[in-house]
Structure 1
Amino acid sequence: MSQPVRPVPAATLLLIRDTPEGLEVFMVVRNRSIGFASGALVFPGGKVDTQDSALLHTDLAEGFDGLDPFEAACRVAALREAYEEAGVLLAHRASDGALIPGKALEALSHNRAPIASGALPFADFLRDQQLRLAAERAVPVARWITPPESPKRFDTLFYVAAAPQDQTAAHDGGESVDSVWLRPAQAIAEGEAGKWLIIVPTRFSLEWLAQYRTVAEVMAAARTRAVRPITGRVEVRDGVEMFCVDEDAGYPRSAIPMMELNRGF
């Protein structure tokens, strides 16, 4: 029997905002040419890069001291990917500690593609703009690990953060080909109706978000949420095939009928 593939560290960020219609989360549609979750509606994110760990040993990050090295690198990756894929940057100006304004960030949008391709190191970009990544603005809420039998595996930390009001989120046109702000319950309903392809960890995350009415409620819940590895499994209960997680995983339901899901991992 062959050994399971070692999971690749990854991170994703749930960017949320308040609207008159209720809480919304920013989601992107992955390019179908990408091997993992191609065409799926997901939160911005991606693999942890060696530069993410290296950045922790510079003066370009605030609030990362004392964090577990794995989690800290994942948090840097989540913030970097949010800028690459969504154009949202959770970083403070070194001059006054204020979050970079949306207008100033818009003027830097031409840097997104070079950062994503690796032509422009993220650390160089931050240093040139005199910015510091803000660890406290992204809070870990889950850790999903692809099942051992999968040919491609990820160890993904999920984070949640309030989207800055004056920054405009938009997909990059490369890894993601579309983007949308959706109420969590709306995303679930549209996924079940076949409008979106939604993978299992995304579905559980949406159900968790759907419990709350405001950004403040979500962030308060996130800061007290226990984060432990989740793999998930398929079980047959009373003749119904279910995708299950442990009861203490922290979701409204620990089992979802497979008929309600339109994509696995």
Structure 2
Amino acid sequence: MTNPFDGIPGADLAYFREQSERFAASGASPAVPRLAATAILLRPDGAVLLMRRPVKMVFGGRWVFPGGSADPIDAEPGGSELEIAARAALREVREETGLVVAAEQLLAWARWVTPEFEPRRFDTYFFIGLVDAETDAVEVNGETEEHRWLTATAALAGYAAGQLSMLPPTVVTLRELADLSTMDAVRAAAVAKDLSSPILPRLP
């Protein structure tokens, strides 16, 4: 995979460079990442759900997939870190959208760790959540200002045009999905994924 910082908007790159230089000058140790989960809800027509976070929230103003930190309740049945993250992903989808995704419709896709220069860091498992119905029924809450169902190609076009502000993991995921034309292709790609070595973005 190419560096996820390649090709991002100039303002975003300048922000990340400033954060990186400030962290390096501080001499501080990187924050310990918190376990988190993200769910890319995928409809049969190829559309995925993107949600714009309020400005005052983490990732404020950005278009993201539903998700958040793992809670103690997610770990109650025990299991591996991946299993805890999967339960967190299903819970976050219910809380943020009102939609229910069956556990068997959740496909492990990727694992990203927030860059070391960020003050708040997450070890985030990304899952594809297959949505059977052609649904647009999303119950948004205070964590979302706006939502859209878009194909990966349309979302990337909005990003390139400066209309949809997104972080590198979101963009990389959309690029991967844009190359897959069917649900079967997505399932096959998910089987081949290796989440044992997380992606830790580094500035070029």
Query: Normalising by the residue count of structure 1, what TM-score does the alignment of the two structures yield?
Result: 0.63
- For the pair shown, which has the larger CA radius of gyration, 1 or 2? 1
Match of 1:64 in 2: none
Query: Is 1:51 aligned to residue 73 of structure 2?
Result: yes
Distance of 1:161 and 1:172 partners within structure 2 = 18
1:116-131 superposed matches below 5 A: none
Aligned residue number for residue 116 of structure 2: 148
Q: Which amino acid aligns with 2:198?
A: P
4+ residue runs of structure 1 moved beyond 6 angstroms?
none
Task: Look up the equivalent residue of 1:33 and give its one-letter code.
Answer: K
Counterpart position of 2:34: 8
Check the 8 A contact 2:111/2:123 in 1, yes or no: yes
One of 193, 196, 199 as aligned partner of 1:225 = 193
Instruction: Show the 5 A alignment for 1:187-198.
Output: 187-198=155-166
Give 1 or 2: higher strand fraction. Answer: 1
Counterpart code for 1:212: L
> What is residue 82 of structure 2 aligned with on the other side?
71
* Residue aligning to 1:118: none
Give 1:45 shift: 0.4
Q: Percent identity?
A: 34
Structure 2 unmatched ranges of 5 or more:
1-26
- Which structure 1 residue ranges, 5 or more long, are not aligned? 58-67, 92-133, 236-265
- In structure 1, what is the equivalent of residue 9 of structure 2? none
User: Which of residues 152, 171, 174 in structure 2 aligns to 1:203?
Assistant: 171
Q: Calculate the TM-score normalised by the size of structure 2.
A: 0.81
Question: How far off its partner does 1:90 sit?
Answer: 2.0
* Superimposed CA distance per residue, residues 125-171 of structure 1 (whole angstroms, 9 cap, x where no aligned partner): xxxxxxxxx2x321111110011121111110000021131755415
CA contact (8 A) 2:44 2:133 kept: no
Q: 2:203 maps to what in 1?
A: 234
Pair 1:33-2:2 in alignment: no
> How many pairs does the alignment contain?
177
Root mean square deviation of aligned Cα: 1.5
Question: How many angstroms apart in 2 are the aligned matches of 1:148 and 1:174?
Answer: 29
Q: Which residue of 1 aligns with 2:13?
A: none
